[in-house]
Each structure stands twice: as structure tokens, then as C-alpha cells.
Amino acid sequence: MTVDVEQPLNNVDIQAVGALVAAVQQDESKAKTTWAAHVTWKGGFQSAARVRAFAETPSDEPTALGGADTAPNPVEQLLSALGNCLAVGYAANATVAGIQLDRLTVDVKGDVDLHVFLGLAEGHAGFDTITAKVKIESPAAQEEIDALHAKVVNSSPVGHTLGTAIPVTIELA
């Protein structure tokens, strides 16, 4: 179901999204995309990621982990990526469904045991669990919000990547 609105609902450019959907329907190869980041070490535990033509995104570790605490660390950035991906999913899918979003927040947290990172053990070095709590304020019926939530959970690229074992290759160039 789509809804015609005079003002962009939820500030989403639904025409751009619709044009992409139509392009992919006409040419399946347009659904295959590649994303990239270039990271440069800045000294200590500081580095910066360059994505497309945007300003660098800095990274550092908290002082307790030996950093200078000048920026979010990589695990915090990963949690942020999940929260941001979910926010995009809610905004896009709510707009397509004609659901007005008055407020949307996503609180993401994860648990990491530092034993492997610190060289004190071998095994899994990543998150043991990740939890996202979504709060939506909307005049829509709860059934619509529940359906929106299910759709977003089932279509989040970052959520699916984190929840599924995918091959990661790290090569020395």
C-alpha cells in the first residue's frame, strides 16, 4: 500500500526509493551493490575512515583500553551502524505504509568479553549479544506499528549481517 501526500511524510524522498525499486525490477543487476571504506591509522589507537566524499570518521579507544578517548571506538561504531540502519528501515517502511513517525529512537548495546582482545584467551573476540530497543511515537494503530517492526527486522542489511555468519576475508596486501 502506498499513500499520496502533499508534504513528504517523515521527510523521506519516497520518489527516489520508488525509482530505485522500479530500476531493480527492470534490471536485477542494479540490486547488486558494493560499499567501501578506506581507513588510515593516525597513531596510537586512533584511525579515521573515509567513505565516499564525506569527511573522515574518527575512531579511538577509551583510556581504559589504552586510547586517548577522542572518538567512538569500532565496537561503538558497529552498534551505531545497526541503530542507524534500523532508523532508515523504520523511516522508509513507515513512509511507504503511510505511517507518520513523530519520534523514533533506537538504543543499541552489546556485551563483549575482552579476554581474547587482550590476549588472555583464544576464541570468540566479538560481541556475545547485541540488543536494540526501539521506541516509536506515532498516531498509527499498534497493529500497524507491529507490522512495521516485523518488516524492518526482516529487512535490515546491518541486522542481518550481524545476525548471520558471513564470510569475512582479511588479506595482507
The pLDDT value recorded for residue 7 is 60
Distance CA 56, CA 70 (A): 14
The pLDDT value recorded for residue 1 is 44
Distance CA 159, CA 78 (A): 11
Which residues of the chain have a pLDDT value below 70?
1-7
The pLDDT value recorded for residue 8 is 82
Structural domains of the chain sorted by starting position, each given as residue range(s) with its CATH number in brackets: 9-21+73-163 (3.30.300.20)
Distance CA 12, CA 95 (A): 7
In the structure grid, which three cell numbers stand for residue 16, read together?
A: 527516489
Distance CA 159, CA 113 (A): 21
Nearest to 58 by CA among 82, 84, 37, 85: 37
User: What are the CA-CA distances from residue 57 to residues 1, 16, 39 (Å)?
Assistant: 38, 26, 9
